[in-house]
Amino acid sequence: MVVLLREDAAPEQRAEVAHLLAELGAHDPISLPQESGAWLLYLPGLTYTDAIIARITALPQVARLIPITTPYALASRAVHPDATRVRVGSVVIGGGEPVIIAGPCSVEGEDQMREAALAARDAGAHLLRGGAFKPRTSPYAFQGLGLRGLELLAQAGAAAGLPVVTEVMEPSLVADVAEFADVLQIGSRNMQNFPLLRAAGRSGRPVLLKRGFAATIDEWLLAAEYLLAEGNPHIILCERGIRGFDPQTRNLLDLAAVPLLRTLTHLPVLVDPSHGTGRRELILPMSAAAIAAGADGLLIEMSPHPDAALSDADQTIDPSTLRAIAQLTRRLRAAITDLPPDPLPGRDGEKRECGTSSAPLPEAMPSLPEELIGSGY
Ligand code: PEP
Ligand code: MN
């Protein structure tokens, strides 16, 4: 069970419930703030006897107890029937308008990053990406510019007026990366790096959690649960393909995960067609498919000079393709607005998760500010 406190509960009243739970369960509960101002308190392992339920629900600041049937209580739709919106500056991820994160695979230098940032903005991106710490399969491949890369990324983002997203690979570097980045990315190879998840969760920064390339949906949601369990509600999932058997594509982009996650979790879901396919000619059609499947946005590798990229050149698109994707994305999103919010129940008539059937559509968010939209729209 998760305890939902009323929105008007004072901090002392929250402490009172936390104290009671700690007494009952012999350790402190997790506290997770909600966008509404309410709080969730969760004490894993506590058995809710009738007597305990009566004591907790007798407190006036308790709105209700939410029964949970999944191992990922805090990520579950049941605790949060409305979609979570993650705010990054003035951009809202999960608010109804698809968000585009674009930029090169790696930060390579000052001019490269600045040019890419301006091109991303002008093509219609809302956030800028660029890797400073690169998880490369070979130790001899370009490893990224490290801390210097973070500075260049932040400068380029500031010059273009775009918040920045970058990967962090080590717990000891979370504080440094959080100083420069608006969103911390946890890469596919690190989805189950539990010390890293804990450190990123504690940073309080929004975290973009990529799916491990061999991870099940449940493992992915449990990785998100690590972040939430540190009290960080600003979590974004990103489907980036799982390992298939056919070398024609780098990965198998699992777009069924998008509507499936909608039923399982309240967290926003992005799609990365770049790593998901590995081929630049597939990025536009798979971006369209991702938006049609209900993705909250896209993460795309883009450079004004794709062939010159030091990493992932094959999957890097140019600014004019990004512009076409941004335009298509808006048209597609408008076209699917009338679709029902939840997929129909499975054949056995059962939803795999509780509490999803009455989940309302997330309210449309107000249009993004003109300066973030760029002339490409
Ligand atoms: C990236 O986004 O640059 C990256 C390395 O992605 P992934 O972790 O999905 O491979
Ligand atoms: Mn890459």
Walk me through the domains of the chain, giving residue ranges and CATH numbers: 2-67 (3.30.70.260), 86-336 (3.20.20.70)
Does the structure show a pLDDT above 60 at 367? Answer: no
User: pLDDT category, 362, cuts 50, 70, 90?
Assistant: very low
- Cβ–ligand 1 distance for 211 under 6 Å, the answer no
Ligand lying nearest the CA atom of residue 166: 1
Does the structure show a pLDDT above 60 at 370? Answer: no
Q: What is the pLDDT of residue 341?
A: 56
Cβ atoms 116, 103 nearer than 8 A: yes
pLDDT digits (tens, 9 = 90+) for 134-177: 999 999 999 999 999 999 999 999 999 999 999 999 999 999 99
> β-pairing, 39-42 with 2-5?
antiparallel
Q: Residue 288 contacts by C-beta under 8 Å, 6 or more apart in sequence?
A: 325, 328, 329, 332
Q: What is the pLDDT of residue 259?
A: 96
Q: What is the pLDDT of residue 337?
A: 77
Residue type at 43 in one-letter notation: L
Does the structure show a pLDDT above 80 at 358? Answer: no
Q: What average pLDDT does range 349-360 have in this prediction?
A: 39
Spacing, Cα 134 to ligand 2 middle (Å): 8
Distance in angstroms (rounded) separating the CA atoms of residues 256 and 294: 10
Sheet of 62-66, strand order: 30-33, 39-42, 2-5, 62-66
Distance in angstroms (rounded) separating the CA atoms of residues 153 and 133: 12
Does the structure show a pLDDT above 70 at 263? Answer: yes
Considering only CA atoms, which residue is closest to atom 9 of ligand 1?
188
Q: What is the pLDDT of residue 26?
A: 77
Average pLDDT, the chain: 91
Which position has the higher pLDDT, 363 or 52?
52
Cβ atoms 138, 183 nearer than 8 A: no
Does the structure show a pLDDT above 60 at 307? Answer: yes
pLDDT digits (tens, 9 = 90+) for 108-141: 999 999 999 999 999 999 999 999 999 999 999 9
Q: What is the DSSP letter of 131?
A: B
Distance in angstroms (rounded) separating the CA atoms of residues 320 and 339: 30
Atom of ligand 1 nearest to the CA of 190: 8
pLDDT digits (tens, 9 = 90+) for 64-88: 999 999 999 999 999 999 999 999 9
Q: What is the DSSP letter of 49?
A: -
Spacing, Cα 271 to ligand 2 middle (Å): 14
Q: What is the DSSP letter of 346?
A: -
Distance in angstroms (rounded) separating the CA atoms of residues 86 and 270: 12
- Strand spans (E) along 34-90: 39-42, 62-66, 86-88
Does the structure show a pLDDT above 60 at 357? Answer: no
Residue 25: count other Cβ atoms within 10 Å of its Cβ. 15
Ligand lying nearest the CA atom of residue 273: 1
Cβ atoms 236, 93 nearer than 8 A: yes
pLDDT digits (tens, 9 = 90+) for 191-241: 999 999 999 999 999 999 999 999 999 999 999 999 999 999 999 999 999
Ligand lying nearest the CA atom of residue 312: 2
Spacing, Cα 302 to ligand 2 middle (Å): 10
- Cβ–ligand 1 distance for 212 under 6 Å, the answer no
What sign results for the dihedral spanned by CA atoms 257, 262, 267, 269? positive
